[in-house]
Amino acid sequence: MNFENRTVIVTGAASGMGEACARLFDAAGANVVLVDRDESGLERVGASLTRSRAVPGDVSDSALSDAAVTAAVASFGRVDVVVNAAGIILRAGAVDTDDDGWQRVMDVNVNGVFFMCRAAVRQMLQQSPDPERGVIVNFGSVAGKVVWGNQTAYCASKGAVHQITRSIALDHATDKIRVNAVCPGEIETPMLKAGRDRAPTQQDLDALAETVPMKRLGQADEVARVVAFLASEAASYMTGSLVDVDAGYTIP
């Protein structure tokens, strides 16, 4: 896919699937604006990209979304694609989720996606509609559909991301702005191992892979390629779609 002369904002760009997206768009010729709260991670990723700039900060602050859009326009002239990959997990059921934990998951996973979408659409509405004003790809999750045990806040947050995606897609369907989400299954990133009582062993990871119909964990690249497809004109007739990238996890 060719993203030459396109400008892509990627949140969560310092790790996992956000990093894989940033690398893929860079390899496809895009200008990439990297957003993450992990400044050293942003430096590491940015150092190996061709045309990028970093906007460090916390996506739960709406000022960061506005700053990322302003930086993209100042450096590269417009915002063609926004990928919202920043997110956190909390492995706790309702009774073990304290107020701060619940609020933090909502602040990052829900508010962060909403703020970035809002800032992006406001900018995209001012851009040329030829061939499209802009495209957003959000990171939902199979957890927003089928529910994983002991992750009440996380599952709720991803359900909200799905509805943010569909709501904005509907409102801007005639504006040449498309909004879709990927719903990854079990993908081998730092998040997969985070927030557990102990670091998972290879045996634990093998057992997790056994729960997937294809009997393996996914790799960040395998999701990034779907994100790039959704961001491309090849997906010109897709908006409001929640695209499972889960090796069959949601079939049963």
Question: Which of positions 177-216 make contact with ligand NAD (CB under 6 A)?
Answer: 184, 186-187, 189-192
36 binds ligand NAD per the rule CB under 6 A: yes
Largest CA distance in the chain: 52
Residue that the structure tokens 């700039």 belong to? 53
Taking each helix axis from N to C end, the angle separating 16-27 and 220-231, rounded to the nearest 10 degrees, works out to 50
- Shortest distance in whole angstroms from residue 213 CB to ligand NAD: 15
88 binds ligand NAD per the rule CB under 6 A: yes
244 binds ligand NAD per the rule CB under 6 A: no
Q: Which string of DSSP letters, residue by residue, matches 41-78?
A: HHHHHHHT-SSEEEEES-TTSHHHHHHHHHHHHHHHS-
Q: Residue with CB nearest ligand NAD?
A: 16
- Shortest distance in whole angstroms from residue 28 CB to ligand NAD: 19
- d(C-alpha 167, C-alpha 144), whole Å: 16
Which one among 21, 24, 79, 86 touches ligand NAD, defined by CB under 6 A? 86
141 binds ligand NAD per the rule CB under 6 A: yes
- Shortest distance in whole angstroms from residue 59 CB to ligand NAD: 4
Task: For residue 128, give every residue at least 6 positions away whose Cβ sits within 8 Å of its Cβ, in sequence order, or none.
Answer: none
Among left, alpha and beta (phi > 0; psi -120 to 50; other), residue 195 is left
Interacting residue ranges for ligand NAD, rule: CB under 6 A = 12, 14-18, 36-38, 41, 58-60, 85-88, 108, 112, 139, 141, 184, 186-187, 189-192
